[in-house]
């Protein structure tokens, strides 16, 4: 699939293209992904290691795991031809298919200075580590482009059940500002109709492409009353709390969970995440920054000038809300402490659709 990126700077009615170049910094892209794998647009990932040595002496650029213990092999093309990197990814797939959870724990300790895998998993996902690997592993190739022949190879083997995907990045520069643009050849977290997957170690429900779980932790930085009044969800006080908000896109459906309370609302995302300083609300018919509006969170603006510590806000149109005392919760429903997670648990979705009197899960 030929991929062409374009970015334009808008100044009134005038548009000016931003100059694109070949991804000359592919060697540094690996380090960028290690520091912030969220730019891939996947679920929250834990980096197991970088340049991980396999049992047959090859090196995987990045090995990651999600909260459901699915392993992601991430290979940056660098100077190799597209066909070479596809062959390399398939070779890694053979190895990763035989890896055990104990071997993953050993690899994590090796590449994190002896730190316990269990501690790293709990810190990243606020949950106990798995006793065994679950779900189908994923092979992810990072490239700026693929030639048509290589693209056909990827599509063919994926159509035969091999979980291989390509994420395209392109580098742009304008003055002192640098940009990365990203797109996928197919969504690795949503089953493709042409894919016939091999039998997984532990099957997981496919994501319907629209529904997200959002944790809304109330404290001095945010209150649920403010979120209801102005229409938003938010997170901040550290990158771990805010970065997953970037996964929300206009049109996505969010189910909001208040810790130790339950699910209290369902709504539609209207805009992507913004820094708190840039977020405006309507008060008495006038638009003004939310930090200048009447709010009940006295510390919502703390760290607003710090990119990592700032609160980040996503505008939402509420469809249905419940008082906290009537929150939805049953044993077995999905919940964890990540701010945003793709909601794929069938039992939870069924209960929420019924309780909020929705037609059906999106994409169902």
Q: Which CATH number is 16's domain given? A: 3.40.1350.10
Please check whether residues 155 and 240 belong to one and the same domain: no
With CA atoms as reference, report the closest residue to 319 among 346, 345, 357, 283.
357
Chain segment 225-246, per-residue pLDDT in tens: 999 999 999 999 988 788 889 8
Regarding predicted confidence, which is higher, 20 or 129? Answer: 129
Lowest mean pLDDT of 18-27, 153-162, 266-275, 296-305, name the range.
18-27
Please check whether residues 308 and 229 belong to one and the same domain: yes
Please check whether residues 308 and 349 belong to one and the same domain: yes
pLDDT at 28 over 80: no
Instruction: Give domain status of residue 54, yes or no.
Output: yes
* Cβ-Cβ contacts under 8 Å for 213 (sequence gap 6 or more): 254, 255, 257, 334, 335, 340, 341, 342, 343, 348
pLDDT at 361 over 70: no
Instruction: Give domain status of residue 52, yes or no.
Output: yes
Instruction: Give domain status of residue 192, yes or no.
Output: no
* Cβ-Cβ contacts under 8 Å for 123 (sequence gap 6 or more): none
The reported pLDDT for the residue numbered 203 is 52
pLDDT at 169 over 90: no
Please check whether residues 19 and 162 belong to one and the same domain: yes
Confidence class of residue 79 from pLDDT cuts 50, 70 and 90? low
pLDDT at 25 over 70: no
Mean pLDDT for 98-119 is 91
Chain segment 305-342, per-residue pLDDT in tens: 998 899 999 999 999 999 999 999 999 999 887 899 88
State the pTM of this model. Answer: 0.62
Please check whether residues 178 and 222 belong to one and the same domain: no
Regarding predicted confidence, which is higher, 212 or 1? Answer: 212
With CA atoms as reference, report the closest residue to 170 among 268, 278, 16, 29.
29
User: For residue 130, what is the DSSP state?
Assistant: P
The CATH number covering residue 282 comes to 3.10.590
Confidence class of residue 204 from pLDDT cuts 50, 70 and 90? low
Please check whether residues 35 and 114 belong to one and the same domain: yes
The reported pLDDT for the residue numbered 39 is 82
Residue with tokens 């197919």: 186
Instruction: Give domain status of residue 46, yes or no.
Output: yes
Instruction: Give domain status of residue 59, yes or no.
Output: yes
Of the three residues 144, 166, 184, the one that is the final residue of a domain is 184
Confidence class of residue 131 from pLDDT cuts 50, 70 and 90? confident
* Cβ-Cβ contacts under 8 Å for 207 (sequence gap 6 or more): 189, 190, 342, 343, 344
The reported pLDDT for the residue numbered 137 is 87
The reported pLDDT for the residue numbered 21 is 64
Chain segment 44-61, per-residue pLDDT in tens: 889 999 989 888 888 898
Mean pLDDT for 195-213 is 66
pLDDT at 122 over 60: yes
Compute the mean pLDDT over every residue in the chain, rounded to the nearest whole number. 85
Host domain of residue 337: 211-355
Q: Are 144 and 169 a contacting pair, CB within 8 Å? A: yes
The reported pLDDT for the residue numbered 12 is 81
């Amino acid at each position: 699939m030929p991929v062409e990126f374009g970015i334009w700077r808008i100044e009134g009615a005038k548009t000016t293209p931003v100059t694109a170049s070949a991804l000359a910094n592919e060697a540094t892209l690996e380090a960028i992904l290690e520091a912030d794998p969220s730019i891939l647009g996947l679920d929250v990932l834990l980096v197991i290691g970088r340049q991980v040595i396999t049992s047959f002496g090859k090196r995987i650029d990045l090995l990651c795991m999600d909260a459901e213990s699915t392993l992601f092999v991430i290979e940056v093309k660098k100077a190799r031809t597209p066909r070479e990197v596809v062959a390399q990814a398939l070779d890694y797939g053979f190895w990763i298919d035989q890896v055990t959870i104990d071997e993953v724990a050993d690899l994590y300790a090796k590449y994190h200075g002896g730190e316990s895998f269990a501690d790293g998993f709990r810190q990243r996902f606020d949950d106990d580590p798995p006793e065994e690997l679950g779900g189908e592993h994923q092979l992810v190739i990072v490239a700026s482009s693929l030639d048509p022949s290589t693209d056909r190879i990827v599509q063919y083997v994926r159509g035969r059940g091999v979980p291989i995907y390509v994420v395209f990045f392109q580098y742009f520069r304008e003055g002192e500002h640098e940009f990365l643009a990203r797109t996928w050849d197919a969504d690795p977290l949503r089953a493709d109709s042409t894919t016939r997957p091999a039998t997984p170690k532990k099957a997981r429900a496919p994501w319907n492409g629209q529904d997200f779980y959002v944790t809304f932790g109330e404290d001095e930085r945010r209150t649920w009353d403010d979120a209801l009044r102005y229409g938003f969800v938010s997170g901040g006080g550290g990158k771990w709390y805010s970065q997953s908000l970037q996964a929300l896109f206009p049109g996505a459906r969010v189910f909001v969970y208040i810790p130790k309370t339950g699910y209290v609302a369902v709504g539609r995302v209207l805009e992507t995440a913004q820094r708190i300083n840039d977020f405006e609300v309507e008060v008495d018919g006038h638009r003004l920054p939310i930090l200048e509006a009447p709010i009940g969170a006295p510390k919502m603006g703390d760290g607003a000038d710090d990119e990592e510590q700032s609160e980040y806000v996503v505008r939402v149109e509420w469809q249905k809300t419940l008082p906290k005392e009537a929150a939805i919760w049953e044993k077995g429903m999905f919940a964890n402490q990540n701010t945003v997670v793709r909601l794929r648990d069938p039992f939870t979705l069924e209960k929420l659709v019924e309780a909020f009197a929705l037609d059906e899960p999106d994409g169902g």
